[in-house]
Structure 1
Amino acid sequence: MKKLLKIVLLIVLLGVLIGAYFYLSKNPSDKTDKDKSAESETIEILKLDESKMTKIILNNEKGSFSFIKKDNNWVYEEKQDLKLDQNMLNRLVQNFTSLTAEKSVEKEAKDLDKYGLKNSKNTVTSFLKDGSSYTLELGDKTPEGTSYYLKLKNKNDIYTVSESVGDSIKYSINDLRSKELPAIDTSNIKYIKIVNLKGETIEIKANEAQNDNEKQYGINAFVMTKPYNNIHAVNSDKLNELNDSITKLSISDFISDSSKELSKYGLDKPRLEILAKDGKNELHLYFGKDVDNDNVAFKIAGAPEIYAMSKDSMEALNLNPFDLIDKFVYLTNIDLVNQINIENGSQKDIITLSRTVKKAEKEGEKDETLTTYKINGKEVSEEPFKNFYQKLIGLQVEAVNDKNLSEKPEVRIVYNLNSTNKKTTIVSFVEYNNDFYAVFVDGKSEFLISKIQVQNMLDEFNKLKK
């Protein structure tokens, strides 16, 4: 009996719920609609035609800043050649031609002082072509600190606006100046010069030639012409890192628009310099003293202004030339080599590479170049020879030579080439200490290589001779 009673009660309850559902679906609550309407209502403070704006003036504790429209750009009326951040100016104008409130606080307020609006020091005035103007007055921040109080001049209706809108009324001229430096295309760099903090001049140029085989200093896209006596290929990964550092250079602050203060900021005798060219444009900067713990003074060559930049950005340009170059002792394509002479003490060996052309047998096929490899007149197989050649051209320098040594080699390698640029290259390994050789390339020594590297190469060669 009890079980039957429970079933009946559940059926009744289900019926009530179904009835309530159908009633509510056909008779939605008026109060809910009103609440939704109130929540979605836009509170418009000011609506102007942006295309008719001719001028906007910011007045705040930092000064009075007037901007006028000229050739579809905004310019600083007091100094019209000053480069401004047009995106920031456009956002500023948009803020005050179509301004909505976060909420309405009080209508016809009697006590303006509690909102910081009795004698506002922060205002923005928009001027239109018809001569009319509209001024907005900014008050204190709300207790939450995420909004500002604001009202229209001559009206006492109080609103709150976002923190970003309020902060924009407090902009100084420097806040609205462009922080971009002269633009260059780092994907098309042709030339870079850096004078680092040690006073070393690093000069990098494009390794231009008709094809890779004609490039005199290896197949790398760039070579370093200074500070070393010989020209060296630049490591592509290191160059990409340098280019990335160049693209990130920007102004962090504005110090002075006058060149009269160069000595004050160490720019009369710059401690670091960079010049980068892309074939059409150039970026040429000088760096001086620290402005504070985070920034350093710098200027653009040929311009009077003094700026600040993050010290991290400058330090990224303070490069050691040795870190930029490829470390190969001498890297050349095997197809350019006709003969290699290896002198190790009293032992002298001659390697020859003789080439013949096998004509294509079928139309559309290419002729084939066949190479014969010989050591002291004895032919060796191609695969073991190429393994040795990789060991030979794989020799890498490991440090800078700080001694002035005479070229009296323990090991000497002479490359005879078929290149149109250069016919002979001589590489010598001269005693530096117990562990290192000084490397001479065509009579000039700049770097060191471990003796064990050279010995491993010679061991590979001796295996090949057997």
Structure 2
Amino acid sequence: MKNQISKKPEEFRDRKLTDTAATQVVRLSIKTAAGEMELKKEADHWQIVKPLRARADDQKVNDLVAQITNSRIVQFVADDAGDLHPYGLAEARSTITILTGDDKSGGGGAGQILQIGGVPEKEKDQVYVRFAPRKFVYTLPNKIESILNTKPNDLRDRHLVRFDQNQLDRITIDTPGKNKTVLARKDQNWTIVNRNNRAANGAEARRLIDLLAAEQVTNFVADVASDLPKYGLDKPQLTVTLSSFASENTAETTAGEHPLATIAFGKIDGETVFARVGEEPFVVAVRRSMLDNVFADPLSWQDLTIFSFKPEQIHKLSLFTDREQSLVRGTNKQWQWVTGSGPINTMNVQSLLNTLASLHATHWVTNAPAAAFAKSQLVITFTTSPDDKAQHKLTVGDSPPDGTAMARTDESEGTFAISSPDLKNLRAPLVEPATPSPTASASPSIAAAPTAGP
């Protein structure tokens, strides 16, 4: 009790600058001699509204707001009714204003205003401030100065684009001079709309979505996109549109496609490419390799599943290399020769059937050279019905240096690559290797009886 009585009155005062929590703040304004920066929270995301309109980095702005609301008073100096010149607050050099959603403080919703003044002569690690809601002059740690040095670009969202993946169910890829690609999602499956809703490579679609969501801007090039030809954005080399799609009218939305974001890619500049998102008024640069990850050819988006059968469905099988070999299932389900002879290697045949029935491509090949199939290394035809009317054909062409082999089927347009292990299984010999005959046992030699002399 004695210790409590001996304390100075200010030691009992609340040293929190404000009772406002960082999460309550919806608007922030910083004014310095260099200019004014204003930020506003819209739909749970921060936006820079002055000196330019741009997306802000939510985490960085939240950290900045928390630095203000969590500030602790070092000294209680004086009420603000007297002369403020000694504190550099008669004409404050900087002002920070925070507003909450229902802020009535500071007079008619003006917000909570924190004025930054001079530095105490004896405490160089502090700075004088005037906090309007409490009508008092304090000192705060001078780390508050770091807020005043914040530039708009320090707080900008460096993500290339912001979109809600849960709403995304259509991707349109447009490259001048090439067929447009339209990918559509239903549940977790993707199709190529402009390829008669052929199954698309869902893993690649999800990879592209994740890539776009994570892509970071390497440089903010121009805050005003007034000279689009300079950046090749008047006629983009590639445009990606992310949309939601409604098949019919609802209370919330009308039927049709509703763009979430459109990303245009322009000229290449070294290791970067210029880009612009929708109607955002600025130009940015992103990694040049981003372009390599967006397939411009609709055929490249096809599903990697080439055949999807059960091995036991295959009824007849013919292989053409430098000769023809044909097998058919007999009435006892055992394989027998149609063309060819010798003991059948049932293990290799089963391996071939397993590979062929569920054949998958490693990737689709764009601009495959015409000479790739000038001389096929393997042609396989097979049927999947007992009457042999359901026919299928696989043609295997050249093998690139990467160990894969280019292939195509009559059922799909385009060229794809198959893996080296799959090619090995497809080319495995169907005839059992000849079993070497056992070496005849050497008979013991019998010495000739000596001939009697005359």
Given the two structures, how large is their TM-score scaled by the length of structure 2? Answer: 0.58
Structure 1 stretches of 5 or more lacking a match? 1-28, 210-219, 355-370
| Correspondence for 2:293 | 319
**Deviation, structure 1 residue 55:** 7.9
Residue number among 235, 245, 253 corresponding to 2:211 in the alignment: 245
- Contact 2:73/2:138, CA 8 A, preserved across alignment: no
Preserved CA contact (<8 Å) 1:53 1:129: no
Q: CA deviation at 1:151?
A: 0.9
Counterpart Cα distance in 1 of 2:24 and 2:182: 51
- CA drift of 1:83 comes to 6.2
Quote the residue 2:427 is aligned against.
458
Letter of the structure 1 residue corresponding to residue 277 of structure 2: I
Distance in 1 (alpha carbons) for counterparts of 2:168 and 2:215? 17
Alpha-carbon spacing, 1:82–1:308, altered in 2? closer, same or farther (3 Å): closer
1:93-132 map, 5 Å: 100-104=71-75, 120-125=92-97, 128-130=106-108
Two-structure CA RMSD over aligned residues (Å): 6.3
Distance change >3 Å, CA 267–CA 100, structure 1 → 2? same
| Unaligned 5+ runs, structure 2 | 99-104, 246-257, 436-454
Q: 1:134–1:239: structure 2 CA closer, same or farther, 3 Å change rule?
A: closer
Matched, 1:283 2:261: yes
Query: Could you list the per-position Cα deviations for residues 250-269 of structure 1 after superposition, in whole angstroms to 9, with x for gaps in the alignment?
Result: 56776556442212333224
Q: Decide which of 409, 413, 417 is 1:441's aligned counterpart.
A: 409
Q: 1:317 to 1:59 in 2, by over 3 A?
A: same
Whose strand proportion is higher, 1 or 2?
1
Q: Which residue of 1 aligns with 2:275?
A: 298
Q: 2:352 aligned with 1:388, yes or no?
A: yes
CA contact (8 A) 1:413 1:428 kept: yes
Answer whether contact 1:339 1:416 (CA < 8 A) is retained: yes
1:151 to 129, 137, 152: 129
1:169 Cα deviation (Å)? Answer: 4.6
CA distance in 1 between counterparts of 2:308 and 2:166 reads 27
Q: Are residue 263 (structure 1) and residue 229 (structure 2) matched?
A: yes
Structure 2 CA distance, aligned partners of 1:399 and 1:276? 23
Distance 1:413 1:193 in 2: 35
Greater helix proportion: 1
What is the SS of the residue equivalent to 1:270?
A: coil
Given the alignment of the two structures, is residue 374 of structure 1 paired with residue 335 of structure 2, yes or no?
yes
1:157-306 to 2 correspondence within 5 Å? Answer: 157-161=137-141, 163=143, 165-171=144-150, 181-185=161-165, 189-191=169-171, 193=173, 203=181, 205=183, 221-222=189-190, 234=201, 236=203, 240-249=206-215, 258-277=224-243, 279=245, 282-289=260-267, 297-301=274-278, 303-306=279-282
- The answer on whether the counterparts of 1:150 and 1:159 sit within 8 Å (CA) in structure 2 is yes
**1:207–1:65 CA distance, 2 compared to 1 (3 A):** closer
Matching residue within 33, 36, 42 for 1:64: 36
Measure, in 1, the Cα distance between the counterparts of 2:6 and 2:118. Answer: 32
Mapped to 2, the partners of 1:342 and 1:350 lie a distance apart of 9
Counterparts of 2:87 and 2:185 in 1: how far apart (Å)? 67
Maintained 8 Å contact 1:186/1:243: no
* Number of residue-to-residue matches in the alignment: 395
Distance 1:91 1:222, change over 3 A: closer
Give the whole-Å Cα distance in 1 for the aligned partners of 2:55 and 2:118.
Answer: 31
For the 8 Å contact 1:432–1:438, the answer to whether it is kept is yes
TM-score (norm 1): 0.57
- Note closer, same or farther for the CA distance 1:325–1:447 as it changes in structure 2 (3 Å cut): same
Q: d(CA) in 1 for partners of 2:352 and 2:120? A: 77
Once the two structures are TM-superposed, the CA of residue 111 in structure 1 deviates from its matched residue by: 12
Alpha-carbon distance between aligned partners in 1 of 2:289 and 2:324, rounded to the nearest angstrom? 49
Paired-residue identity, %? 14
Instruction: Measure the CA separation in 1 of the matches of 2:125 and 2:396.
Output: 73
Contact persistence 1:398–1:450 (CA under 8 A): no
C-alpha separation between the residues in 2 aligned to 1:174 and 1:344? 64
Q: For residues 51 and 456 of structure 1, what CA distance do their matches in structure 2 show? A: 61
Q: Deviations over 1:173-202 (max 9, x none)?
A: 666666663413279655463759xx9889
